[in-house]
Amino acid sequence: MRDEAQKTIVGCGQTIRAALQQLCDSAKGILFLVDGKTLKGALSDGDVRRFLLGGGGIDAPVRDAANMHPKFLFTTERERAHAFMLENGITAVPIVDETMEVVDVAFLRESVPMDDVSIRELRPDDLGMALEFFDQMAGDTRAMFNRNDANKIRLINHLDGNGEDNEVHFAATVPYGGTEKMVGYVFLWDIDTLLPWLGIAVREEWKGRHLGRRLLEHADAWAKPRGYGGIMLTSVPANIRAHSLYSRMGYNYSGTYVDSEFLYIKRYPCPEVKLA
């Protein structure tokens, strides 16, 4: 089984505590329970939250919180995986052999070509799609990008027409069941200044597919022709993966900002000036 698929496999006797750590480490939003190698159930972030809010203990076995009638596909049906996930509104499906042993896991993000991703400005009628994007964020993403729901609230106000006029918000979307699903988000605030402020987030199951690079490139393509001097952003020290991306995309570390966040600034070259 592929390493990425193996990260979503958990034994039925594991605890909720261990499963939560595995959910965070895998960043897939779901685990599949096995007894030996035999598929027994599925456990999502939502399953865990409902179990704990219902009074369940964090050291209870995962089977107490899991869905013990999981959706799956046989190996002979694998070519249906993309359509099956869209039809059922799921982002991963275990692939089993005739004995119900898990041989692989198909992920929705792998079945959607990057060419199908489009980036456009968010509109007021996109509110539901945007809220679903924020709701799927894992705990570490929320802590780094949406602390106290600040970015979510600001976007809601923007789409409702109650926010600031000096900002622009873009969504990366893919076709999904006859409509769209938001897989990435980038905004620019303070666009009435020469150095607007950027924020970026990628859907959990789309991380690692270079979508962050495309979102940053889109921000450049919007800002450069409009005469801005560059773009600035801040990032929590723990977001090491993002720091590497920012550096590769031309952002320079410029010290610390409030709350000890790292400040990055990308400066655009000035137009050539001909002296008299």
Q: Are residues 107 and 119 in the same domain?
A: no
Do 119 and 215 contact (CB within 8 A), yes or no? yes
CA distances (Å), origin 134, targets 120, 129, 201: 17, 9, 9
Asked if residue 167 is part of any domain, the answer here is yes
What is d(CA 107, CA 91) in angstroms, rounded to the nearest whole number?
Answer: 6
Q: Residue 51: what pLDDT?
A: 93
Query: Is the same domain home to 55 and 172?
Result: no
User: How many structural domains comprise the chain?
Assistant: 2
189 contacts 144 by C-beta, under 8 angstroms: no
Query: Does residue 260 lie in a domain region?
Result: yes
Would strands 102-107 and 38-44 be described as parallel, antiparallel, or unpaired?
unpaired
Q: Are residues 168 and 205 in the same domain?
A: yes
Q: What is the pLDDT of residues 91-118, one digit of tens each?
A: 899 999 999 999 999 988 776 667 789 9
Give yes or no: residues 100 and 182 share one domain. no
Tokens 């119900």 -> residue: 100
Q: What is the pLDDT of residues 7-49, one digit of tens each?
A: 999 999 899 999 989 988 887 889 999 999 999 999 998 899 8
- Enumerate residues 6+ apart whose C-beta is below 8 A from 82: 106, 108, 111, 112
Residue 152 domain boundaries:
114-267
d(CA 62, CA 42): 9
